[in-house]
Amino acid sequence: MSRPLIGVLALQGDVREHLAALRDQDAEAVPVRRPEELAAVDGLVLPGGESTTIAKLARRFGLLDPLRAAVRDGLPVYGSCAGMILLADRLLDAPPDQETIGGLDVTVRRNAFGRQADSFESEMDVEGLGGGSLHAVFIRAPWVEEAGDGVAVLGRVVGGEADGRIVAVRQGNLVATSFHPELTGDRRVHALFVEIVRRHLAARAGAGAGNEED
């Protein structure tokens, strides 16, 4: 199979780190700033940053509605930190005018772990990742307050005041984490997402072949 083309929404946030992580997984990674660039990719990463700023810029660049349509159409999307907020259908502690892309049946609490000074690192297990625990970096991070029936919980905080809080989820082709795997040398979350994109492409190709036979 050819290398999947995966975009990173490049309006604000840690774009370069995600591009590098995706390229380490033999994906072709490109920044996405315009609707025509979004239309060309096989998958998309929503990076960490400032969720309200990213949403406002997406609206200004004419990307917000195309992003929503792409998610509805099944485009694989991975959101880290602010990206998790952008994928959420519901938000807590958000400005009343904050917009999201949506598609992920979760309620997310913004800045749930506190301010920048409360950022921390932790070891945790993430379902679907082999190789033992993952070193997770949380920076002014959200958490999932409530997940819908169709959402698989992949990871929770262990220990401390936030013990049991949901910080990694998946629903179909959508994946989101509260933490920043792009800031460590551990590429397993990106590898998981690239595999989701590859399977999506294979399924689409198979469906196309079936239609040709008809």
Per the annotation, the verdict on 200 as an active-site residue is no
CA pair distance 201, 168, nearest whole angstrom: 24
76-101 exposure pattern, b = at least 16 Cβ within 10 A, e = fewer: bbbbbbbbbbbbbebbeebeeeebbb
Whether 4 and 28 have beta carbons less than 8 Å apart is answered as yes
- Active-site option among 17, 18, 81, 190: 81
The tokens for 52 are: 């309200």
- The span from the CA of 136 to the CA of 146, in Å, is 21
* The one catalytic residue among 18, 99, 182, 190: 182
Q: Let me know if 182 is a catalytic residue.
A: yes
* Rounded Cα gap, residues 67 and 203, in angstroms: 21
Options 18, 180, 190, 200, the catalytic residue: 180
Any idea which residues carry the catalytic annotation? 81, 180, 182
